[in-house]
Amino acid sequence: MIILAGTPIGNASDASPRLVETLERADVIAAEDTRNALHLLEVLGVANRPRMLSMHDFNERGRVAEVLELARTQDVVVVSDAGMPTISDPGYHLVAAARGTDVTVTIVPGPTAAVSALAVSGLPTDRFSFEGFVPRRPGERARLWRELADERRTMIFYESPHRVADALESMIAGFGADRPASVSRELTKRFEHTERGTLAQLHEWAQAGVRGEVVIVVGGAPERRTSPEDHVDEVRRLVDGGMR
């Protein structure tokens, strides 16, 4: 069986008793970083020292067949460095490969930075879209903002702290300075802070520098209200073009 196990995103006390139990019973741990996984076992007081396999972004595809084979007879617990495996972290290719096989995939859920940041943002939570990491290249970012310009759902982005101000500046160009947003840093840790405001206000705040791990949450596009007058030019153009 494959057991995807969510681990704390900064505060070890967020580990559930079920996570501890699962690690205690694991036959194999497939970890993004085996040293971090060992540290987690120590912090959580888990005595079990199962076989550890490294499974990170760069070797996951090559490891899939081996891990699936192990999972036929043993309990393989998949953990990332923090939060939910498969969410901007290794695990997806393994789970995708398990589709159509008789290997069971199950979950020990834990925190994820994306949903935690959304919950504290004060922005609508009824519909949201997780967009992963903000692209680094300006051209790719601009293309993404164009794609998302009319997105009505609240959008969640991961970003590295030293690029937050840049990312917010480019979001202003894409979504407008007045779009409501939030920046959450160091969630569940000692210096946790969520700054809420418009993109322009957050950009100004971020100029002083942002440290730690960061999630940016951006409100969706406001509903566009149209009146019959808004369509006059379009109708004229069509009529002038010969439409009756």
Q: Which residues bind ligand SAM (CB under 6 A)?
A: 9-10, 80, 82-84, 87-89, 112-114, 158-160, 184-189, 213-215
What's the min distance (Å) between Cβ of 237 and ligand SAM?
46
CA distance 18 to 153: 33
What's the min distance (Å) between Cβ of 175 and ligand SAM?
19
CA distance 150 to 44: 45
CA distance 68 to 83: 22
What's the min distance (Å) between Cβ of 20 and ligand SAM?
19
Considering the complex, state which of residue 162 and residue 237 has its C-beta at the smaller distance from ligand SAM.
Answer: 162
Query: Measuring CA to CA, which residue among 43, 17, 34 is closest to residue 79?
Result: 34
What's the min distance (Å) between Cβ of 146 and ligand SAM?
23
What's the min distance (Å) between Cβ of 211 and ligand SAM?
11
SS3 state at 213 = coil
CA distance 134 to 73: 39
The alpha carbon torsion through 139, 118, 89, 174 (nearest 10 deg) reads 0
Considering the complex, state which of residue 160 and residue 207 has its C-beta at the smaller distance from ligand SAM.
Answer: 160
Which single residue brings its beta carbon nearest to ligand SAM? 83
Query: Measuring CA to CA, which residue among 38, 46, 42 is closest to residue 18?
Result: 46
Considering the complex, state which of residue 14 and residue 27 has its C-beta at the smaller distance from ligand SAM.
Answer: 14
Label residue 176 left, alpha or beta by phi (over 0 means left) and psi (-120 to 50 means alpha). left
Considering the complex, state which of residue 49 and residue 92 has its C-beta at the smaller distance from ligand SAM.
Answer: 92
Considering the complex, state which of residue 6 and residue 69 has its C-beta at the smaller distance from ligand SAM.
Answer: 6
